[in-house]
Amino acid sequence: MRAVRHAVVLTLAAIRSVPARLGTSLVTVISITTVMGVLVAMLALSEGLEKFVQSGVTADGAVVLSRGAQSALQSALPKTILASIADKPGIKRDADGKPEVTGTVFMFINAVNVQNQRGTVSLFSVTPEWVKINPELHIIEGRYFKAGLHELIVSDLIRQRFRHFGVGDAVRVRGTPWRIVGAYHSSATALEDSVIGDADTVLSAFPQARFNAVDVTLESPGAFATFKQAVTSDPTLKADVKTQQESNEEIIKSRRQLLDFISYFLGGLMGLGAACGALASLYAAVDARRVEIATLRAIGFGALPVVVSVLAEGLLLAIPAALIGVGIDWYLFNKHIVVASGITFPMAVTPHLVAVAVCWSLGIALLGGILPSIRAARLPVAIAMRAA
């Protein structure tokens, strides 16, 4: 108990002396703030991608993919798949008694953004039932596309970012002109990255095209196992079943792993630099407090409280540094729109990233404070007093 009381006294004394050592203390704060700014900015990309893809995911949703496909982008299902799945158990039916089963076809359209840079826009083609079971999509200009016609609707985000994607414009899909007849907004963020058309028309216009996935609404989340067993045990389908969350995770898995690796690799390298800055700062703090520490040691303060006080000073400087770095990123990058691998999504600075930044900052401060704290604890009382 005595050691704890001594550690608190020494820590408070160290904090009170920070204004006298403002320059060296700022070295620690600025270096850690810089590292956290870079780390959180990079992680905000993967966090935003995660939130983007997982938006609109429901517990009662299932996705049918071709056997062996890791994601919808790698899947290819026959055009007869809807009729084969419609009678499987566990599927929810609408007010008219029709099964809530929709087929989707994914394609990409070459485009030029407003900065005159080439890119791609996702063409998300759906069967008619899809519109009925996705009420979060709202037409804000024009109208819905009509089945059988080369018509598309475009998200408000896409038409703002790319040229010639306004209502009334014609875009070329694999050399064939398609007319944009409406613009929409959706509360499901993942739909904000697309233009949408009729899947049956796409399959007719491009004979080589296939359904990439079939989305199914189940009677309840508990019906998933029954439905999956019915689909996977049917030898004529050669299909696998995943939950919506599993399917969406597979789409971004490789991209997120790459972003996380780059983020933590750069953060680790910069973190070592910040630890060196903290090391120099805390060494300077120990030197500036030699007389104070020697006096306290002479009147009975032990070595352990000295170690704790030096480490605590570094940790207390690290917390505001982390929050400043996160605050700068939130102001500059939160909801900032980026395009990566053909996907347009907003960056996200989340509470999870705040926790990550604080933990990293504390780790950097702890690493940088170990040697100075040991030096302070081993400082001979007589030498320090002579230095006074």
pLDDT at 292: 65
Judged against a pLDDT cut of 70, whether residue 122 lies above it is answered with yes
Q: Are residues 37 and 120 in the same domain?
A: no
Which residue type, as a one-letter code, is found at position 100?
Answer: E
- As given in the structure block, the two tokens for residue 341 are 């691998």
- Note whether 229 and 301 are same-domain residues: no
| Two tokens, residue 56 | 């609109």
Q: Is residue 246 part of a domain?
A: no
Question: Which phi and psi (to 5°) does residue 66 adopt?
Answer: -65, 150
pLDDT for residue 356 is more than 50: yes
Identify the pLDDT of residue 388.
Answer: 47
Q: Is residue 58 part of a domain?
A: no
* 144-173 pLDDT, tens digit each: 999 889 999 999 888 888 889 999 999 998
Helix (H) or strand (E) holding 296: helix 290-298
- Residue 18 scores a pLDDT above 70: no
Please indicate, yes or no, whether residues 291 and 317 belong to a single structural domain of this protein.
yes
Would you state the pLDDT for residue 108?
87
The pLDDT of residue 211: 92
Domain count, the chain: 2
Angle separating helix axes 22-54 and 303-333, nearest 10 degrees: 50
Residue 245 forms part of a structural domain = no
Residue 250 has pLDDT above 90, yes or no: no
Considering 237, 268, 283, which residue would you say is the last residue of a domain?
237
pLDDT at 83: 87
Can you tell me the distance from the alpha carbon of 151 to that of 198, in angstroms, rounded to the nearest whole number?
8
Q: How sure is the predictor about 191, in pLDDT bands with cuts at 50, 70 and 90?
A: confident
Spatial separation of the C-alpha atoms in residues 196 and 183, rounded to whole Å: 10
Query: Whole-structure pTM over 0.85, yes or no?
Result: no
Which of the listed ranges 14-28, 280-294, 357-371 does the model predict with the highest average pLDDT?
Answer: 357-371
Assess if residue 244 is contained within a domain: no
Alpha-carbon span 82 to 212, nearest angstrom? 12
Asked if 43 and 262 touch (Cβ cutoff 8 Å), the reply is: no
Interacting residues of 334 by C-beta distance below 8 A, sequence separation 6+:
44, 347, 348, 349
- Give 342's DSSP letter: T
Mark whether 297 and 363 lie in a shared domain.
yes
Residue 47 is part of which domain span? 2-53+252-387
User: Is 264 among the domain residues?
Assistant: yes
108 or 312, greater pLDDT: 108
- pLDDT digit string (tens) for 20-71? 666 767 777 888 888 888 888 888 888 887 777 776 677 888 999 998 887 7
Between 309 and 127, the higher pLDDT residue: 127
Q: Note whether 150 and 257 are same-domain residues.
A: no
Q: Tell me, yes or no, whether 326 and 258 share the same domain.
A: yes
Buried b (16+ CB within 10 A) or exposed e, 301-314: beeebbbbbbbbbb
Task: Provide, rounded to the nearest whole percent, the portion of the chain with pLDDT above 70.
Answer: 77
Contact (Cβ atoms closer than 8 angstroms) between residue 99 and residue 83? no
Q: Are residues 47 and 82 in the same domain?
A: no
The confidence score (pLDDT) of residue 165 equals 92
Q: Measure the CA–CA gap between 4 and 46, rounded to whole angstroms.
A: 42
Q: Last residue of a domain, which of 184, 212, 237?
A: 237
| Domain boundary residue, one of 207, 237, 267 | 237
Q: In this predicted structure, what is the pLDDT of residue 176?
A: 87
pLDDT of residue 199: 92
221 and 79, same structural domain?
Answer: yes
